[in-house]
């Protein structure tokens, strides 16, 4: 982002007869920037909703953001790079429908950025994209592993989760959870499990369960949903991994 003074000087040099390339070299800015200023075609870039710096667009509905947050907290990772940041979400490649949904979700949320899918060793699908403000979008990013630092949702994130708790639960289960057949004597029934070593992430998951009336059981780093009446709800709103 260039200062107002640079903008004024560039226009003055252009009015004095210097071409765009000369002005750009003199001020250390791209020639196209000088051209846009001179012709009045420069467009204001949207601002980040958290730090207010110019950025590529971010489109967030409560449901899309809640699901993205669940995917990231479950098994996502942000890497700091020299000029941008990279988000990677690690999914089971045996569930191509879930991988395709995650790719479409990132494409909707960050429409100005490409989304890539890479298959590792035939079993892991890595859905990734780049953006300069990923840490603003997902402020739980930080050094080290998630379970080794305190994870707490900010007020605006909790508002999105409260608005769309099923979307958040879907993201968590699809990234770091599973559905399985629980066999007890002659009975066989579907159950859900979310497993995460971070107490803060587990707390966010169980809070969302309570919002939608799902009963759960906690065992160490596992949260299980086994009661038939409670299992019926995620079966309807989340589905099984397929």
Beta-carbon contacts of 101 under 8 Å, excluding residues fewer than 6 positions away, are 174
What distance in Å separates the CA atoms of residue 190 and residue 227, rounded to the nearest whole number?
A: 9
In CATH terms, the fold of domain 62-237 is Endonuclease I-creI (3.10.28)
Beta-carbon contacts of 214 under 8 Å, excluding residues fewer than 6 positions away, are 169, 225, 230, 233, 234
Which sequence spans correspond to the domains of the chain? 4-39, 62-237
Q: What is the mean pLDDT of residues 174-190?
A: 86
The pLDDT confidence band at residue 4, using thresholds 50, 70 and 90, is low
Task: Kindly report, residue by residue over 205-214, the tens digit of the pLDDT.
Answer: 999 999 999 9
Task: Kindly report, residue by residue over 66-116, the tens digit of the pLDDT.
Answer: 999 999 999 999 999 998 999 999 999 999 999 999 999 999 999 989 999
Q: For helices 20-27 and 4-15, give the axis angle rounded to 10 degrees.
A: 140
State the pTM of this model.
0.80
The pLDDT confidence band at residue 38, using thresholds 50, 70 and 90, is confident
Query: Is the distance from CB of 224 to CB of 193 less than 8 angstroms?
Result: yes
* Beta-sheet pairing, 76-80 with 85-92: antiparallel
Q: What is the mean pLDDT of residues 133-143?
A: 92
What distance in Å separates the CA atoms of residue 238 and residue 225, rounded to the nearest whole number?
A: 13
């Amino acid at each position: 982002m260039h200062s107002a003074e640079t903008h004024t000087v560039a226009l003055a040099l252009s009015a004095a007869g210097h071409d765009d390339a000369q002005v750009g070299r003199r001020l250390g800015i791209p020639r196209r920037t000088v051209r846009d200023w001179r012709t009045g075609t420069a467009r204001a870039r949207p601002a980040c909703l958290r730090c207010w710096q110019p950025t590529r667009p971010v489109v967030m509905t409560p449901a899309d953001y809640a699901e993205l947050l669940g995917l990231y907290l479950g098994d996502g990772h942000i890497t700091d790079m020299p000029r941008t940041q990279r988000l990677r979400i690690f999914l089971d490649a045996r569930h191509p429908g879930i991988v395709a949904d995650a790719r479409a979700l990132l494409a909707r949320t960050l429409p100005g950025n490409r989304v890539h899918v890479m298959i590792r060793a035939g079993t892991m699908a890595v859905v990734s994209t780049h953006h300069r403000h990923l840490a603003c979008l997902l402020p739980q990013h930080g050094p080290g592993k998630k379970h080794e630092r305190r994870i707490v949702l900010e007020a605006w994130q909790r508002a999105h989760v409260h608005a769309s708790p099923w979307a958040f639960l879907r993201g968590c289960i699809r990234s770091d959870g599973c559905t399985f057949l629980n066999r007890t004597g002659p009975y066989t029934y579907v159950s859900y499990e979310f497993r995460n070593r971070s107490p803060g992430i587990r707390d966010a998951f169980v809070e969302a369960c309570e919002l939608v009336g799902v009963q759960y059981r906690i065992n160490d780093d596992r949260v299980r949903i086994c009661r038939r009446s409670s299992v019926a709800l995620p079966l309807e709103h989340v589905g099984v991994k397929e």
